[in-house]
Structure 1
């Protein structure tokens, strides 16, 4: 058609309609976030063709755009070499290197504001129902003008959803071969190595995925497609939730987190989650870059000093402590403690003011404060290098609910710490507190021990007072909470597991200095805490403190026998508690005058060393502890053999007793060395 004034041909060249996945749109769920409303159909639904008057790209331009390489793999990027974009690329195939891709942020300017204004904007939204909407501005109290959740409970699990929330199948083995890989602590993050939320979590069918169906059932966590369709960032995101989240459950549950992915304030948290998730899967070449990216993002000056930044730091602290970056983890712990108090995370109104009217987000903020207190206590207890500063910080934050309530979003009315500490005076008909609440009480009991003046006399009233706290914790547990194994589901309650773990560790710290178990044979076990000398009592009979110490160490070893898919699903702090238990077992083995069941002690040491070997598949700290325990066991064995060389050692024993004792010692050292 000729323009009436210029006479030029004003013909508009329309771009071809892009191929759409076989989907329909659920308008009800689209109100919350259109990117979460895709569901499969069989047979495929046909969407009407809607011409876009703004499209001016020719077919050849579109083809060239499709042929361009959006990013280079990490190996090529680090060497500044051209990458062909194949998965794996030609260079990595030739060199046998791991080929990992992280989406680039180059040119990314954040999520686009959609639709324009007035009728024209409304028309465009109608024609493009899968277009991402911009985040609504926050009000003065931190809430959003847009209700992100249409209901309290998560939306029904779609059979096709964002690939970033698909369960990761890329892990090779339970530990992913990450036992010896420690993240780099130096070097800047290259501009192309960062991963934006909008690029990482694409709508299925619009990226490089194959359109397969994902089963989002939280019970079996199964998938029905190839793991190769997931990018590195997506695999790490899934790995974080599958392997780590249950041990420190303060980040939003995955079904809710995916609705916040377009919020730019989550970038530091997502970066930290990706790095920790990478520790559990077989991507050793990418871990250094992911750690550098997470560290840099957490420390960017423009970051909002909010609860999401606190969560990002907490995720990093736990991961860094597990990969033996202990000093940097402690420095970051000091930073996050100051930030938490600065933003008033320790106060009751914080959850309401910053919860955006969403109960599950309010619960996440409450859990963030309490899990930070537990992490602070665990680091202080197992490393004995910090002071548990948050124990003295005043707080009136409500207690967390049960885990299944948090995961479903059905948050009950909150309860408070003063009720928990006075629970023996409550009505018997009152419902039990959550497992998380009893975990908090154990952390506070550890804090009370750490605030106790030095105890030099075994009859000190302070020692009796702390033991009374530990005994009362056990006595006042509801019947349903007395075993970490849930009697209804048959699964381990991770919060109760950690509570019992802290209880027994506190008992060892309290009683071991006054026991008859000389710790000097284990002086070289310093992987978790410096050696603390114990003045052993020379009397041949066990005193009560020795009995308390041995029983607590035995109970820790028994925790290993609880049925879990992998010990790596427990908090990594279990490593140091196992090490503490092993020191007790080795001290007992080193005794020459005590009669004990050699086979029982042999099995307990085997449990501990075997558990450390399992944890070492992910956590280098566990590998270091295992090596030291093995070394001390070898020294104890040599010392016992030296003492047994004298004929007076066997005086009064029969030949059978002598042979049995020698065989038991040989069996213990063989088992420990081979685990």
Structure 2
């Protein structure tokens, strides 16, 4: 502890060291007390209870391991850096990080942030395992009989008792408010809140799931530790709860209805309205409510333009000096920008208005840091002569989406001049040369850089959007008769240009399958990865129809399709758009890959899937357009 005390007064240290030193005593005490609680509970004479405690120990052990590992690493860093001379502390910091954190990007502030997030998760876990403060058939007032804040019920609804030190939660007829005393902050949600909206899961659990599974892919809000104190309006809180509920795999029509109602009308002067609508857009798209998603996205873009979120000064002028909020506003604009472009490409629209604006805010910064770098400085990094500047992974995601925007301006009917197509093709190739490789998406410890993963599948989508329509691949889903004929003869590709585009489209599709094969959990990726997987599968299926006569080629296409269908099937457990896509693509795959002439049991008549008739002769890329999505293709 003396080491951390010394760090608070040492000169020449980054501010992050002082912040870590301030938090460390609380962290150490919390870990110690948590261990003591588990040990005390384990001494119970109740056998069933002991079994539950053993299960609890097993469930929370990874949390303790992560926290204690990070504490140990921080200790090693502080031991080397704090006693050093002021002038050499930065150099000592670089050296010790290279030794104790080989191959990892974590800094002291990131190690502490992970500890605090894990402890928050531990607290949430323990909160949900507590016995109810009253049985369902008990009633009456809750009376405070000791020191500390009171829990006062002032209307209909459920009373929440304060089960830990630090405050209370009061329930009011017109809404709900987490009221705390001391140095903590007050979080008020306006509008009505009824706990019957979501009887199967608590808000806090859904918020925790939102941050652990969704936030990193779309980081428009402040970090987890600041969420409660920031005081987001009800529509933001409801959409966060709703997204978290998808990961809890519980549903509530009342919650869904309340969320929908909270978006109409909406305050068109607030950045939080853009955040709410943008998050709602993403989850609606994932739930295959495409027209609603497009409506919300259009409203979000309109409000963002109206309040000037694209202005470089907007974030600093409206965040009240809070750097975390400033950064969240910048991230919100860029998430809106990339989402707007991606959805336009999927639905075969022209470039959206957010892609055409000339003024843009500063780029998102590295983890835990604000950014003062512009889009122009990032684009011009390729000409820099000095040391390579490190940019956040989000910057590469933004660049990939802007390349997609350039594709949207090209005429898809082959009348675009070849030099324009080549220029975009070269931009895609340059992105791969100047950006981090796909292998860096996952480090040696299995930690995923979700933004970089998104950047890679976006650039692969860009390649498919550019090359597929110009390739020799059949633009439409062939009929069963066409597939039967193709098995008998090879398909000749007469145009060298078409062969070039074909090879590049297939290569991008294969790389999409490689992304799906990376050793990382699929659940933490953006729901938009579903569309990348569908695009990749579509290209492989189209290519397979050209190679039905070639068993080795056909087997390769089959392997890629099977992998991507498996990934889609996993994502389909949560997202409707993936579940519907699997049903569609499996029917097509069966007709392409199952040859009735070589079936294992020829005595059984081969039956073409009934769903296949819904897809035959539809443009492969039109599967994403709202007209087809709302029609027979997806609904069977």
Instruction: Give TM class, smaller chain.
Output: 0.5 to 0.7
- How far residue 425 of structure 1 moved from its aligned partner, in angstroms, is 1.1
C-alpha distance in structure 2 between counterparts of 1:282 and 1:304, whole Å: 32
Selected match of 2:383 from 425, 437, 450: 425
How many pairs were matched up? 444
Query: Which of the numbers 486, 499, 504 marks the counterpart of 2:455?
Result: 499
Q: 1:474 to 1:155 in 2, by over 3 A?
A: closer
Matched, 1:248 2:207: no
Q: Which has the greater radius of gyration? A: 1
Provide the aligned C-alpha RMSD in A.
Answer: 4.3
TM-score normalised to structure 1 length:
0.58
Give the corresponding residue for 1:318: 282
- The answer to whether structure 1 residue 446 and structure 2 residue 401 are counterparts is no
SS in 2 for 1:292: helix
Matches within 5 A, 1:312-351: 312-351=276-315
CA contact (8 A) 1:164 1:230 kept: no
Change in Cα spacing, 1:485 to 1:538, as seen in structure 2 (3 Å) is closer
Q: Structure 2 vs 1, CA of residues 335 and 540 (structure 1 numbering), >3 Å: closer, same or farther?
A: closer
Alignment of 1:34-113 (within 5 A): none
Alignment of 1:657-672 (within 5 A): none
SS of equivalent residue, structure 2 residue 320 = coil
> Does the 8 A contact of 1:333 with 1:376 survive in 2?
yes
Q: For each residue in 1:277-301, what CA deviation from the matched residue of structure 2 results, as whole angstroms up to 9, or x when unmatched?
A: 10111323x2x22221222223245
| Residue correspondence of structure 1 range 485-524 to structure 2 within 5 A | 485-487=441-443, 489-521=445-477
- Alignment partners' CA distance in 2, 1:194 and 1:340: 36
**Cα pair 2:410 2:416 within 8 Å, conserved:** no
Alignment of 1:536-575 (within 5 A): 538-539=493-494, 543-565=499-521, 567-575=522-530
Deviation at residue 356 of structure 1 after TM alignment: 2.0
Q: In structure 2, do the counterparts of structure 1 residues 340 and 580 end up closer, same or farther at CA, with 3 Å as the change threshold?
A: same
CA distance in 2, matches of 1:379, 1:194: 41
- Unmatched 5+ stretches in structure 2: 1-18, 35-108, 130-154, 170-198, 481-490, 610-636
Specify the SS of the correspondent of 2:116: coil
- Alpha-carbon distance change, 155 to 201 in structure 1, aligned in 2, over 3 angstroms: farther
Partner of 1:157: 116
1:1-57 deviations in Å (ceiling 9; x for gaps):
xxxxxxxxxxxxxxxxxxxxxxxxxxx99x99xxx9x969969xxxxxxxxxxxxxx
Q: How many angstroms does 1:512 deviate by? A: 1.2
Residue 294 of structure 1 pairs with residue 259 of structure 2: yes
Determine whether 1:273 maps to 2:273: no
Shift of 1:521: 2.7
Q: Which of 352, 356, 361 is 1:397 aligned to? A: 361
> Deviations along 1:291-349, whole A, 9 cap, x unmatched?
21222223245x47311121111111100011111101111111111100111111111
Partner of residue 590, structure 1: 545
Deviation (angstroms), 1:487? 4.1
Displacement of 1:430:
3.1
Name the CA distance, whole Å, in 2 between partners of 1:295 and 1:194: 22
The secondary structure found in structure 2 opposite 1:483 is: helix
Higher RCO structure (Cα 8 Å, ≥6 apart): 1
Instruction: Please name the residue that 1:622 is paired with.
Output: 578
1: distance between equivalents of 2:299 and 2:532?
A: 26
Do the aligned residues in 2 keep the contact of 1:446 with 1:506 (CA within 8 Å)? yes
Q: Is the 8 A contact 2:311 2:359 kept in 1?
A: yes
Distance 1:42 1:631, change over 3 A: closer
Distance 1:325 1:200, change over 3 A: farther
Shift in CA distance, 634/194, structure 1 to aligned 2, threshold 3 Å: farther
User: Is 1:578 aligned with 2:533?
Assistant: yes
CA deviation profile, 1:504-559 (whole Å, cap 9, x unmatched): 111111111222211323689xxxxxxxxxxx975398811110011011000111
How far off its partner does 1:475 sit? 1.4
Aligned to 2:94: none
Q: Matches of 1:575 and 1:378 in 2, distance apart?
A: 12
Instruction: Indicate how the Cα distance of structure 1 residues 200 and 508 shifts in structure 2: closer, same or farther if over 3 A, else same.
Output: farther
In the superposition, relative to structure 1, how do residues 543 and 308 fare at CA in structure 2: closer, same or farther (>3 Å)? Answer: same
The alpha carbon displacement at 1:585 in A equals 1.2
User: Compared with structure 1, are the counterparts of its residues 155 and 320 closer, same or farther at alpha carbon in structure 2 (3 Å cutoff)?
Assistant: closer
Separation (CA, whole Å) in 1 of partners of 2:420 and 2:161: 55
How does 1:599-618 map onto structure 2 within 5 Å? 599-618=555-574
Change (3 A) 1:538 1:597: closer
Aligned to 1:233: 203
Taking a change above 3 Å as real, the CA distance of residues 519 and 589 of structure 1, as seen in their structure-2 partners, is same
Whole-Å separation in 2 of the counterparts to 1:159 and 1:574: 27
SS at match of 1:632: helix
Q: Once the two structures are superposed, what CA deviation does each residue of 1:467-512 show, in whole Å capped at 9, x if it has no partner?
A: 01111111122xx555342446542211111111011111111111
User: Is the 8 Å Cα contact of residues 154 and 256 (structure 1) preserved in structure 2?
Assistant: no
